Amino acid sequence: MATYRELLAQREKLDAEIQQARNTERAAVIAEIRQKLLDHQIGLDELAGRRVKPAEVNVRRPVAPRYRDPASGKEWSGRGKPPAWIKNAPDRHKFLIR
pLDDT at 53: 65
Query: How far apart are alpha carbons 73 and 27 in whole angstroms?
Result: 65
CB neighbours of residue 82 within 10 Å: 14
Query: pLDDT (tens digit, 0 to 9) for every residue of the chain, 98 residues total?
Result: 899 999 999 999 999 999 999 999 999 999 999 999 999 988 888 888 877 666 655 677 888 999 999 889 999 999 999 999 998 888 888 899 88
What pTM was estimated for this model as a whole? 0.43
pLDDT of the residue at 49: 81
Q: Where are the beta strands (DSSP E) in 1-98?
A: 67-68, 75-76
Let me know: does 34 contact 61? Beta carbons within 8 Å. Answer: no
Q: Which residues contact 67 (CB under 8 A, 6 or more apart)?
A: 75, 76, 77, 78, 86, 92, 95, 96, 97
